[in-house]
Chain A
Amino acid sequence: MPHTTGRADTARAVVFSPLDGVGRAELVARRLTDAIVTGVLHDGERLPSESQLARSLGVAVVTAREALESLRDQGLLQTKRGREGGSFVTFDTDASARMLAERLRGTSRIELRDRSLFASAIAGTAAEVAVDRASDDDLAALEEIDRTADRATTAGARRAVGRFQLEVAAISQSPRLVREELRIQAETGSLLWLSLREPARRDRAHEVRRGVIAAIRAGDADAARHRTVEHIRSATEWLIDEKHRLDAAARTETSPSSGGGTLPPTD
């Protein structure tokens, strides 16, 4: 009856549970893969050296090297020798779409919903509290992020969503909400905002930003939370629909009885 275990025992279990589910090199590789896949690191950009990377991430140099090797194996990095050498990001839009599709297929609906719920809890509370804490300067900063948002590209739109949510978290004046928001964006952001590849969804993200700014200005905490949470919920539903399409297409492809096998258009 593990689910009837008393609270004290649960707390004890947490204390002695393993610190990391995966190895550190894998964590570093995943962080960098996400950054590349989402366009935070651009195609052709040079990464910091192994030792610089190790220092900034707080890991051993061998760990950083191992992570870079695995990225090289995935074809996300290319190493050039010589004075102008280093590790360069090699990633075009086709590769990006392919990898994200693979990742989406490998993630269960339960996990997608769970990640989305956690993201809503953080971003929603940040928006709610920001209403109480925002000064005119804070509102101006949010306006500026929306004004300069690049709505022409998927990566640009995703950066704008990320920057906006991070600024809202900072306005809430909670260091913990800021840290969690950053972590969620690094770990889940690439997948969660996949819907931004559709221009209509980018316009919607802009509408949501306008709505959240208006709610903060009006002192309406419920509306600020609601608009933030609804946005994440609808992005998640899009994602699950997309996963359904991809899974169905893959089944058709492998099934010998079917003559089909072409992917449905994703846009």
Chain B
Amino acid sequence: MYVDVDLPARDLATRIAAVLDPVFAAVDDWAERVGGALARLGDAHLPPTAAELDPLVHDLVAPALQEPDSLVTGAGLVAAPHFLADRPWHLAWWQSAGSGELRRLAVETDPEADAFRDHTALEWWRGPLREGRSHVTGPYVDYLCTDDYTVTITTPVRFAGIMAAVVGADLYVERLERVLLPVMEASGQPATLVNASGRIIASADARLATGALLRRDGFAAARDRAHEASGPVVLDGATTLQACGDTSLLLVIGR
């Protein structure tokens, strides 16, 4: 009986991870390559410049943005404050503008300006800084940068012992739902995909809205157990939690 429940949950988690893994792998790859480039371009006393770094980041992220039907709608690098030699605050972020065109995101980088926001206070910066690995932020309405309903994956770039930057990718929640929901519904399970804070990314249950929080007692403890277990763990009653590979996302099965 228990096995009957376990296998489909694990199978579904594997399928969902397979959809997202290429994006995580790409972002990890960017982090590694940018880290390598930083070591080549500068040293701990003389960091590289934005002018040196930008073309490199552009060439790294462009293929993911130009690929037809790509989940990734924005990608790039955000430098730690005062890390780069020529720019105290710097973003090198591109968005797909349709038909293979890329548009560079313009953000206020003058701390004196009214529209300036310190990005080090935002979750997509604090997450990777705290966890030392890739972090999933959202779904959230990105009104500071792109005005879109977004999930952002950010990964630290380390240089000379600090987090010198993050590289990352923006995914439209709508596109994500369109890809994930058929997989979830095909499983025949009452499945809901949530991020590490229990915020709903997609659900087969019409009563669970994307963006809402799954408020369940003991969620954090069950989440930690789920990441250690190979199969589903009990959240409460007939509801189980299953980690989706290394994505930090979780599948909730049951109501």
Contacts and interface: CB of A to CB of B under 8 A. Distances in A.
B105 to A, nearest CB: 12
Interface residues of B, number: 18
Contacts of B213: 132-135
B143 A170 contact: yes
Given A133-B211, A135-B213, 12 more contacts: A133-B213, A134-B213, A137-B123, A144-B121, A169-B143, A170-B143, A173-B209, A173-B210, A173-B211, A173-B212, A175-B147, A178-B147
Contacts of B89: none
A173 B147 CA distance: 11
A106 to B, nearest CB: 27
Interface of B: 106, 114, 121, 123, 139-141, 143, 147-149, 197, 199, 209-213
16 contacts: A40-B114, A42-B114, A132-B212, A132-B213, A133-B211, A133-B213, A134-B213, A135-B199, A137-B197, A169-B143, A170-B141, A173-B140, A173-B141, A173-B210, A173-B211, A182-B143
A56 B212 contact: no
Contacts, number: 41
Contact of A56 (B106, B140, B143): B106
Contact of A173 (B114, B121, B139, B197): B139
Interface centre among B143, B199, B213 (most CB of A within 10 A): B143
Contacts of B209: 173
Nearest to B113: A45
CB-based closest 4 A-B pairs:
A173-B211, A175-B149, A170-B141, A178-B141
A170 B211 CA distance: 11
Contacts of A133: 211-213
Contact of B143 (A41, A132, A178): A178
